[in-house]
Amino acid sequence: MHPPTRIRARAGVAAAAALAAALVATPASAHPGKSADGGEELWVNPKSSITEHLRTEHLKGQDRADAEALAGYASASWFTGGTPSEVRKDVRDQVRRADRADAVPTLVAYNLPYRDCAQYSAGGAASQADYEEWIDAFAAGIGNERAIVILEPDGLGVIPWYTTIDGAQEWCQPEDADPATAAAERFAMFNHAVDAFGALPNAQVYLDAGNSAWLNVGENTDRLIKAGVQRADGFFLNASNYQFTENSTAYGHWISSCIEVITRGLGAAADCGNQYWNGGPANDWTGVAMTRYAPWTAGNADPAADTSGVDSKYAQQLGDIVPTTQFVIDTSRNGVGPWDPTTSDVEYTGDAEDWCNPPDRGLGARPTLDVDDPLVAGYLWIKVPGESDGQCYRSLGGPLDPERGMQDPAAGQWFAEQARELIELAVPPLETTRADCRGKGKGNGSADANGKGQANGKGNAGGNGHGQGHGGV
7: which residues sit within 8 A by CB, 6+ positions away?
Answer: 404, 405
- H helices within 303-387, ranges in order? 308-318
Asked whether residue 387 is marked as a ligand-binding residue, the answer is yes
Residue boundaries of the structural domains of the chain? 5-434
Asked whether residue 353 is marked as a ligand-binding residue, the answer is no
Q: Note whether 175 and 235 are within 8 A (CB).
A: no
380: which residues sit within 8 A by CB, 6+ positions away?
Answer: 42, 74, 76, 106, 148, 150, 236, 328, 329, 330, 331, 332, 367
Catalytic residue (choose from 63, 66, 306, 389): 389
Of the candidates 399, 366, 388, the residue with the CA atom closest to the CA atom of residue 445 = 388
3-state secondary structure of 62: helix
CA angle 47/50/53 to nearest 5° reads 100
For residue 63, the model assigns a pLDDT of 96
Respond yes or no: is residue 306 known to be catalytic: no
Respond yes or no: is residue 340 known to be catalytic: no
Instruction: Evaluate the omega torsion of the peptide bond into residue 399 and state whether it is cis, within 30 degrees of 0.
Output: yes
| Rounded distance between C-alpha atoms, residue 425 and residue 362, angstroms | 4
* Domain 5-434 bears CATH identifier 3.20.20.40: yes
Catalytic residue (choose from 63, 66, 154, 311): 154
For residue 121, the model assigns a pLDDT of 60
- Return the amino acid letter for 473: V
Respond yes or no: is residue 66 known to be catalytic: no
* Displacement of CA 71 from its chain's centroid (Å): 18
For the whole model, what pTM was predicted? 0.85
For residue 452, the model assigns a pLDDT of 37
For residue 432, the model assigns a pLDDT of 59
Residue by residue, pLDDT tens for the chain (473 residues) are 332 322 223 333 333 333 233 333 333 333 344 343 446 899 999 999 999 999 999 999 999 999 999 999 999 999 999 999 999 999 999 999 999 999 999 999 999 999 988 665 667 999 999 999 999 999 999 999 999 999 999 999 999 999 999 999 999 999 999 999 999 999 999 999 999 999 999 999 999 999 999 999 999 999 999 999 999 999 999 999 999 999 999 999 999 999 999 999 999 999 999 999 999 999 999 999 999 999 999 999 999 999 999 999 999 999 999 999 999 999 999 999 999 999 999 999 999 999 999 999 999 999 999 999 999 999 999 999 999 999 999 999 999 999 999 999 998 999 999 999 999 999 999 875 545 443 333 333 333 333 333 333 333 333 333 333 444 44
For residue 117, the model assigns a pLDDT of 86
Catalytic residue (choose from 63, 66, 116, 233): 116
Asked whether residue 214 is marked as a ligand-binding residue, the answer is yes
Asked whether residue 43 is marked as a ligand-binding residue, the answer is no
For residue 116, the model assigns a pLDDT of 80
Asked whether residue 78 is marked as a ligand-binding residue, the answer is yes
